[in-house]
A and B are shown apart, each in its own frame.
Chain A
Amino acid sequence: MSGLSRRHVLGLGALAALSACGGPARGPDAPMTFWQFYAPAPQQTEYQQQQSRWFIELVEAWNSEHRRKIELVYVPVRDYLGGAKLPTAFATGAGPDIFLLSPGDFLRYYNGGALQDLTPHLSRQVIDDFMPGTLETRTVGGRVFGLPMEIEPMAMFYSTNAFEAAGLSEGDIPRTWDQLLGVARRLKAAGQRGMVFHTVPGYYQNFAWYPFLWSAGGTVTNPDGTSAFDSPATVRALSFWQEAVRSGVSPRTLPGEDDPTVAFSQGLVSLWHRGIWTVKELQDVPDVRYGVFPTPVPEGGSYTTSLGGWAFVANARGRDPEAAAEFCAFALGSQRPEAVQRIVDWCIKVKTDIPPRRSALDKAVAQGGFESGVMRTFLRDVLPGARGEPRLPPVAYKAVSDAIQATMLGGADPKAAASAADRAITAYLKTYRGAEF
């Protein structure tokens, strides 16, 4: 090699390596980033690809009209939900400009000053257009900090095949907890699988359990912000899930690796407490026959269920918080017909959800989104009386989670577990500084 010594090569290599560490240049006019978990991947199912396309088209629509561009950044769903990527990015001041947030995480980001006020970009008419239970968990002091893209209520899914094999019909659909346990026992006795409540500790398990707490008349905190967890209602709700596992009608782990297509098609489940998104997941699975009914209530209890769903939020410390907030309003908080239609498309075409705005819901109904049996049941029977997922600070969430896990899978005394969680929440609230919940 002439004219280029080994030392030169090493030097150039080191230079290249060092320059690679800096990452892409990010000037003041660099596009804003939008982090979410709907990646375009050809190996995915058709509906998953449609979900990804919806995001791409949304960003394209924005980019075609605005000087400040946006680029999508995909984070694998497991990493997004419980992983380190998002917290690490915020901790290092490199958080996304726009991202998706669930109510369970809302307070952490709000109290950290990471959420931009979206209210200036929303008209009163649009705010009033949102359905009850959707904006409350994203609002502080009358200011809106997140716009929901969907409403996802929980209900009981049942396998029609399993019901028929056990000699059960629609007339046997349970309305109370005792009836539910009775049906599950009959299914098991007939050689079918039982009913599934979520077993993995985390925000989602709490979310799935709240309807049982609420319908028994309980709540995690009082309106004045003090703990209300040590109550007979809590004990009753904890005891119900515990009894389901103890009696053997509910499994200790999720069937089919938490995949309803596997679980329902292979007969691994008869009853499953899941969200409305399951309808889409089961849509293209051949030979799966199923129905849906509202979550049963305890004797003397009143019906409710929890409303999940993700929201668009803007980073108050991003490159251009006002533009990011404007984008959230552009996507989900605009009165433009195409914006409303976009929500409709998301909720009834690429997913099976309930639109969070009345105008979008009316359009979705008119476009036939709720004509199928199960979607009609969700709109007519499951949604009325539903409540938004509470936003709890992490310590309170963890206390509730520990109580559910200890009783459901650890066999602990529900009264003792409720008291222990109550003590943990009360101790934490004494020093809590942040938005109300």
Chain B
Amino acid sequence: MNAQTRRERIAAALFLAPDMVGLLVFLVLPMLLSLVLAFFQVDGFGGIEFVGLDNYARMIDDPQFWVSLRVTLAYVVFLVPLLFGTSLGLALLVRQKIPAVGVFRTAFFLPYMVSVVVVGLLWRYMLGDDIGIVPSALSGLGVPAPSFLGDPAYALGTVVAITVWVSAGYYMVIFLAGLQDIPREYYEAARLDGAGPVRSFRAVTWPLLKPTSFFVLLTSTIAAVTGGFDLVFVLTNGGPANSTSLLVFYVYQQAFQFGEFGYASALSSVLVLVLLVWSLLLFRITKAGKFSYDDA
């Protein structure tokens, strides 16, 4: 290694150091501590006692854990495909050469810039059973409005729909970047070969968008499993009848409302495990995100 290379490496390390220190102190260390805490009973007042695997045994016997796991699974299963489809659809729309496309792009992205707490309050007002604009509009059309936030049959779906409204703009931008990387010549060639819009999408857009799709799928799943707390906290507080009690909300409840920090850590480790398995699976399916376009 010559002096020039060594200097460059040192410079690179120095530039990376602040980020790495931040990651270690604020992410890796708390994660490790959380995994360790799962083996203790921690009362939040300085009392700490080693309990081995008791917290995990308790989890198995805790019906609320299974309810929350089921709710989280349903949330992810509905949210991720819906978010994927909506954001891809929006990206395809705003890629078109139409007047004032910038306004549409901004409008779709705007909800993502608003605080989730504000979004939650806004939707709570709009969906309120008695004075909400949405139930009033439905009633005006002669459609009986359900209790969007008070009926367990609708509450989780409502949270999913609001999450799509908030996040679709963000993933739209990612898809848009992916779409703009696809050379125009490919579409031109497809058009000369007689391909219509659907065929062009299947033969050109979809295969070339695979790396972006992989990224969106991975990050939106992680966001779905670990997120959703703010919205649930503001909209439903986990209700009605635990129908929106996501695992992340239950973790919060155990830690901060019940003072069971050890048990909450054990619950968190399940979230980490689920995400780890999902990420490995996705990496395996997609060969670590490296796609062969020849298979398309």
Contact = CB atoms under 8 A, between A and B. Distances in A.
A200 B64 contact: no
B258 A394 contact: yes
Contacts of B256: 82-84, 87-88
Interface string B206-245: 0000000000000000000000000000000111111100
7 smallest CB-CB distances across A and B, nearest first, come from A252-B150, A410-B241, A112-B45, A394-B258, A409-B240, A253-B150, A252-B147
A424 B62 CA distance: 9
B130 interface: yes
B22 to A, nearest CB: 13
11 contacts: A84-B256, A88-B256, A91-B45, A112-B47, A112-B259, A253-B130, A253-B149, A317-B46, A408-B241, A409-B151, A409-B239
Interface residues of A, number: 43
Size category of the B interface is: 35 or more
Interface string B180-198: 0000000000000000000
B63 interface: yes
A135 interface: no
Interface stretch (A37-45, A336-344, A398-406): A398-406
A111 B43 contact: yes
Contacts of B170: none
A87 B260 CA distance: 10
B129 A201 contact: no
Contacts, number: 108
B44 A251 contact: no
Majority secondary structure of chain B interface residues (helix, strand, loop or mixed): loop
Q: Which of A82, A252, A268, A408 has the largest number of chain B CB atoms within 10 A?
A: A252
Interface in A86-118: 87-88, 90-91, 93, 108-109, 111-114
Interface string A111-131: 111100000000000000000
A31 interface: no
Interface in A181-230: 193, 199-202
B241 A409 contact: yes
A395 B63 CA distance: 12
A200 B150 CA distance: 9
B130 A199 contact: no
B44 A90 contact: yes
Contacts of A12: none
A257 interface: yes
Nearest to B121: A257
A173 interface: no
Contact of B46 (A93, A111, A268): A93
B131 A253 contact: no
A412 interface: yes
A412 B241 contact: yes
A370 to B, nearest CB: 33
Given A82-B237, A201-B239, A253 B45 contact: no
Contacts of A395: 258
A268 B130 contact: yes
Contact of B241 (A90, A91, A193, A405): A405
Interface in A326-359: none
B64 A201 contact: no
Nearest to A85: B256
Q: Which of B124, B130, B242, B260 has the largest number of chain A CB atoms within 10 A?
A: B130
Given A90-B44, A199-B150, A253 B129 contact: yes
Given A87-B259, A91-B45, A257 B125 contact: yes
Contact of A394 (B130, B241, B259): B259
Contacts of A112: 43-47, 259
Interface in B224-281: 237-243, 252-253, 255-261
A410 B152 contact: yes
A427 interface: yes
A322 B47 CA distance: 22
Contacts of A408: 241
Contacts of B63: 420, 424
Q: Which of A93, A255, A405, A424 has the largest number of chain B CB atoms within 10 A?
A: A405
A395 B61 CA distance: 13
B249 to A, nearest CB: 11
A256 B125 CA distance: 9
B242 A252 contact: no
Contacts of B289: none
A63 interface: no
Given A90-B44, A253-B147, A108 B131 contact: no
A315 B256 CA distance: 18
A283 interface: no
A266 interface: yes
Contacts of A108: 258-259
A200 B241 CA distance: 9
A86 B152 CA distance: 31
Contacts of A111: 43
A82 B261 CA distance: 15
A402 B125 CA distance: 26
A221 to B, nearest CB: 18
Interface string A265-299: 01010000000000000000000000000000000
Contacts of A420: 63
B240 A394 contact: no
B157 interface: no
A263 B128 CA distance: 12
